[in-house]
């Protein structure tokens, strides 16, 4: 049932295993780990595990949970075998590789397929592979030169430098002729972008269990010795970073750092044992992957249909609408379809909403939840859109699902489609392009060469 590497147990999402299974794998799991897991994550939301009688069950969160030097790796069911079998090496290998492929598109990461293959030869979980890729990207970027920009300083100095601020000088130095209150610009690497990268580098190094990763991250931290660490970072700070042509090459690195920092690589104390959980929701990853993949290959997916002329808006960016108004006439219940295709005249010909849920091709409703259909109907009505497509993953060897629903109350249709994630995704980019082309456009695309 489980594949173990030294001190690491691998599970697939929604997989259940008994504590006896964990102990029998001889990966260092002990009774104390069971107690710590339940104490730390029993009431934590969103839930990483369900704690059953004598067993542990993963949820739809994927990632790494570490207690001391023992790790539980949780993978999505997107392996090429379709079995999601944690004792099968090919199943685990392909799930990790496909997961990194989704991350590569969702967060604009630079692909390093050869390096990923090399890391797979080591007893490393996907967190260590992602850490390795971050270090590799950062090393290459810093070799080209650290990003510097002009930063304005105001200081009380012993020399006249830059602009002399007379008013402030008279208030601060009324009797000190040897001091000058000045304002000057410094071409410095100590900017917010580099502070984020250094902060992430140190945080990741603290969590990594791979000696070579830790060594490389320590070296990179030293390379940024002129950058002062911020005491803490939050989403509001991360949103302040602006990219221009001068620092655009650092955007993928920033995205990786943000991925680490936002998904709670948080260290907690459990008695004398260090523990941390780094997890994220596959719903959000699947949504971002589909949106970014369509954007990157929009010419081949949408070419010649009119859709390629639309603005493609993720999370209804700039086109938010609301379901209702309160008693004061203020909009409430904001709607956020995953992907909106918007014409220049403001009309919306197509809405795509992704759902990372496993469908059942043998059921009459195919396992589609009523709330998903209700949500799609609301999108169609509020956005006056005649076509809403719900995209689900095709995994676990289910057959492709193509189901259309004509809404009774609107002149609109909801289409349910699946995208196959149980293939070798890095090698099957053209297949994904054609699949999305058929879903969105309804015709086969030409077998042209592509750049991945």
105-125 burial: b if 16+ Cβ within 10 Å, else e: bbbebeebeeebeebbeeebb
3-class secondary structure, 421: coil
The tens place of each residue's pLDDT in the chain, 452 residues long, gives 344 444 788 999 999 988 888 777 667 677 778 778 887 777 777 888 888 888 889 998 999 988 877 889 999 999 998 888 888 889 998 999 899 899 889 888 766 666 666 656 666 788 888 898 899 889 999 999 999 988 777 778 677 777 776 777 777 777 777 787 877 777 889 899 999 999 999 999 988 888 899 999 999 999 999 999 888 788 888 888 999 999 999 998 998 898 888 876 555 555 556 778 888 889 999 999 999 999 999 999 998 778 888 999 988 677 778 888 888 888 888 888 999 999 999 999 999 999 999 888 778 787 889 999 999 999 999 999 999 999 999 987 788 888 899 988 788 899 999 999 999 999 999 999 999 999 998 644 444 434 43
Burial of 401 per CB tally in 10 Å (0-12, 13-18, 19+)? middle
Quote helix, strand, coil % in the chain, to nearest 5: 35, 25, 40
Task: Tell whether pTM > 0.85.
Answer: no
What pLDDT, on the 0 to 100 scale, is given for residue 266?
56
Helix (H) / strand (E) element for 152: namely strand 149-157
What tokens appear for 251 in the block?
């955007």
């Amino acid at each position: 049932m489980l594949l173990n590497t030294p001190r690491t147990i691998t599970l697939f999402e929604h997989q259940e295993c008994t504590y006896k299974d964990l102990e029998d794998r001889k990966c260092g799991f002990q009774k104390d780990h069971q107690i710590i897991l339940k104490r730390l994550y029993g009431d934590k939301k969103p839930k990483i595990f369900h704690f059953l009688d004598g067993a542990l069950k993963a949820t739809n969160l994927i990632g790494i949970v570490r207690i001391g030097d023992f790790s539980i790796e949780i993978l999505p069911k997107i392996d090429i075998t379709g079995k999601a079998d944690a004792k099968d090496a090919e199943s685990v290998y392909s799930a990790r590789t496909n997961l990194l492929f989704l991350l590569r598109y969702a967060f604009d990461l630079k692909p390093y397929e050869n390096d990923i293959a090399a890391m797979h030869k080591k007893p490393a979980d996907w967190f260590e592979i992602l850490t390795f890729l971050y270090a590799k990207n950062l090393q290459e970027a810093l070799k080209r030169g650290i990003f510097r920009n002009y930063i304005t300083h105001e200081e009380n100095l012993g020399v006249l430098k830059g602009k002399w601020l007379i008013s402030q000088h008279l208030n601060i130095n009324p009797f000190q002729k040897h001091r000058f209150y000045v304002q000057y610009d410094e071409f410095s690497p100590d900017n917010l972008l580099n502070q984020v990268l250094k902060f992430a580098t140190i945080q990741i190094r603290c969590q990594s269990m791979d000696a070579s990763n830790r060594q490389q991250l320590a070296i990179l931290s030293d390379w940024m010795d002129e950058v002062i660490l911020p005491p803490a970072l939050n989403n509001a700070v991360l949103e302040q970073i602006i990219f221009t042509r001068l620092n655009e090459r650092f955007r993928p690195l920033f995205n990786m750092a943000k991925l680490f920092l936002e998904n709670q690589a948080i260290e907690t104390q459990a008695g004398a044992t260090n523990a941390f959980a780094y997890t994220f929701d596959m719903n959000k990853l699947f949504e971002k992957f589909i949106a970014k993949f369509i954007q990157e290959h929009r010419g081949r997916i949408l070419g010649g249909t009119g859709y390629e002329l639309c603005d493609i808006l993720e999370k209804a960016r700039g086109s938010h609408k609301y379901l209702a108004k309160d008693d004061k006439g203020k909009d409430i219940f904001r709607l956020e379809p995953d992907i909106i295709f918007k014409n220049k005249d403001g009309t919306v010909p197509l809405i795509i909403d992704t759902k990372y849920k496993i469908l059942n091709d043998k059921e009459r409703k195919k396992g589609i939840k009523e709330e998903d259909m209700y949500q799609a109907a609301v999108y169609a009505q509020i956005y006056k859109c005649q076509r809403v497509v719900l995209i689900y993953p095709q995994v676990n060897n289910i057959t492709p699902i193509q189901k259309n629903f004509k809404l009774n109350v609107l002149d609109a249709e909801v289409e349910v489609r699946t995208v196959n994630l149980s293939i070798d995704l890095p090698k099957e980019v053209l297949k994904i392009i054609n699949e999305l082309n058929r879903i969105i456009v309804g015709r086969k695309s030409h077998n042209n060469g592509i750049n991945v």
